[in-house]
Amino acid sequence: MSENNAPIEFEGRIAPGKDWKEIVAWVGDLPPLPQVASQAMVLIEDPNVSTSRLTDLLGKDTALAARVLKIANSAMFSFQREITTLNQAIVIIGFKSLKGIIVAATLRQINRKQGQMEQMIWQNSTCTAVAAHTLCTSLKKNFADEAYLAGLLHDLGKLVLTRQIPEDYEKVIKSAHTDGCPFHVTETEQLGFSHPLIGALVAKKWNFSSEMCQMILHHHDAIESIENSPLGEKIRIIMTANLIAHKLGYGHKTGYVEQNDELDKLYTSFGVGSEQASEIEEKIKDLYLNQSGSFG
């Protein structure tokens, strides 16, 4: 690849005249994933890791451990009895779901500011995660835990932007609502890039899988451009979950552009009719309302 040629993930995702190298440098200056969370993610991928080793590691970060337990007791992961120890959480929930919980807890720690903008982004991320997991369960897909994680991470770019350039990003959000335009379009117009690109680059920096980065990168692409493949199906699940979250009102202020036509197209691609769609959305709403306090 020539020094002046942008990597493939930048194609069609930056405004004319915007230097992709500046974006790479900017992302490179962002802080790494917190140490305990980063180490835990690596351990979870080790088939020989023990529950006690993970428990000891998570116990080194009191705030992270407390949030993991809180989320583990939410409606999404609830069981017949309260989970009171990290060891119980790991044994009962399993490593795949634990990975999503650690990410949720870590992102919440990173996004400590509690303004309206941050709350809006966080609500959309958590509702999308619930929606993605519920969609997979309802449609009998075997990647529900991966979809839950992707739902949490799909707006990682927004969380980074609101933390790093809060004043500029506040202007983006105000413009999007005033103009009735999707966030990623207004972002590109005003910043020269959009949150899916930033989120994918940060996820790559944090050593998430290539598939996870692709799900983040493509979640606002045109539906017709998504390939009919296993990865394409996962991307469409995240796209659908995100639009459901927006339809339910989680992720924007009043007046944001309606995207129900796109949602209907996605439902059709999964063979979901209007009656089943309504049932799925009602289930997602109930689950999210029951567990939203666990993410706070």
Of 106 and 128, more confident: 128
Instruction: Give the angle 102-218-104 at the CA atoms, nearest 5°.
Output: 10
**Least confident range of 70-74, 213-217, 244-248:** 70-74
Q: Say yes or no to pLDDT of 232 above 80.
A: yes
Q: What is the CATH number of the domain that holds 250?
A: 1.10.3210.10
Q: Say yes or no to pLDDT of 51 above 50.
A: yes
The total domain count for the chain is 1
> Does residue 4 lie within any of the structural domains?
no
Per-residue pLDDT, 135: 97
User: Which residue segment(s) compose the domain that 207 sits in?
Assistant: 19-295
> Does residue 9 lie within any of the structural domains?
no
Per-residue pLDDT, 67: 79
Of 33 and 218, more confident: 218
Residue with tokens 């080793």: 53
To the nearest whole number, what is the mean pLDDT of the chain? 86
Per-residue pLDDT, 205: 87
> Does residue 113 lie within any of the structural domains?
yes
Q: For the segment 119-165, what is each residue's pLDDT rounded down to a tens digit?
A: 888 889 989 999 999 999 999 999 998 998 899 899 999 988 888 88
Q: For the segment 9-18, what is each residue's pLDDT rounded down to a tens digit?
A: 888 899 988 9
pLDDT classification of 77: cutoffs 50, 70, 90:
low
Q: Say yes or no to pLDDT of 1 above 50.
A: no
Q: Say yes or no to pLDDT of 79 above 70.
A: no
> Does residue 12 lie within any of the structural domains?
no
> Does residue 221 lie within any of the structural domains?
yes
> Does residue 13 lie within any of the structural domains?
no
**In terms of C-beta density within 10 A (0-12 exposed, 13-18 middle, 19 or more buried), how is residue 133 classed?**
buried
pTM of the model: 0.86
pLDDT classification of 2: cutoffs 50, 70, 90:
very low
Of 105 and 200, more confident: 200
